[in-house]
Amino acid sequence: MSAGPASPPAGLKITNTREPDVGYNCVVCVKQVPDTKRITGQAMKDDGTVNRAALPAIFNFEDLNALEEALAIRDAHGGTVTVVTMGLPTACEVLRESLYRGADRAILITDRRAAASDTLATSYILSCAVKKLGADIVLCGRQAIDGDTAQVGPQLAEKLGCPVITYLEQIVSLQGRRIEVRRSVGNGHEVVACELPVLLTVMETANTPRPQAARRVMKYKKARSLAEVQKLADEAMKNDYEDYTAELKAGQVEQYCAKLDQRGLLIEQWGLDDIGADLAWCGRDGSPTKVHRIQAVVLKGGTYKELPPTDEGMATLARELIEDHTIG
């Protein structure tokens, strides 16, 4: 680790005076991740990192559970569910899927200056977005399958100045400004309570995400962000396909976005300037985590060794695994 700035800029606490009888404003932070179940030798780079382009991108599993928890809160108590993701414009796919499942609003945070952000910079950028939105309850998946650090949720709560409850299994009660939840503690669980606002990290065992609603799929499958519309316009100006509208063929991106907005199909797109982020805390400059060495263990087909099913065979296997630093 190298030393970073001493402390984040002040003023990131959530302030929300929403009355309980009008529901709760829930903000869900989601992430598009590579499907790590399909990692093979061909999906690894020479330096041991994952070649994301070689793997299909999917909705992070426990973020789906966080979304479901937020939708259940809205269904029971009223309010809104806003889904936020940070990444390239291709991450809009998880935002559309969130809309298919019932989210009210979808926001993409994308900015070249946010590239190479570690968990510290990511949580700072998300905190700026949440502060702009205001929230009663912020929900995240316990962790992302591409990093498995489980750091962003707690770091985000720290920057927002609100309580955090991790490893959520069940919301026991939610009344007024007080929430009581059951959280996992390994071989058991504990019930904890706090005042809102609060940040919750949700486990896969908390619920079963609802399926996509056919009616919402038909409505939101054409939802696009500004970056996606710009890409469509570039393609339309190069190709004379009938599928493209007159606005796209003429490169009239703003007019096309205005029509999408009127139909509720414009995915909001925010840059770092839109959320008032301090660039010193974003991207590579705001990422003190430095990777000094990566060692990847990839099992390739055809490379195997048979050992006798004896105590001596097991001892030989354990010794080789320890010597190769696979275990121990």
Residues contacting residue 289 through CB under 8 Å, at least 6 positions apart:
1, 118, 119, 120
Q: Where are the domains of the chain?
A: 20-223+264-281, 297-328
Q: Which helix H or strand E contains 127, and what residues bound it?
A: helix 119-133
pLDDT of residue 230: 92
Q: What is the pLDDT of residue 3?
A: 46
Q: Does domain 20-223+264-281 have CATH number 3.20.20.80?
A: no
| Mean pLDDT (10-residue bins), the chain, 328 residues | 50 49 90 80 63 81 97 96 96 97 97 93 96 96 89 96 96 96 93 97 96 97 94 83 72 89 95 96 89 60 73 87 76
Q: How is residue 42 annotated by DSSP?
A: G
Helix 92-101 × helix 61-77 angle, to 10°: 40
Predicted model pTM: 0.82
For the record, the structure tokens of 150 come out as 């489980």
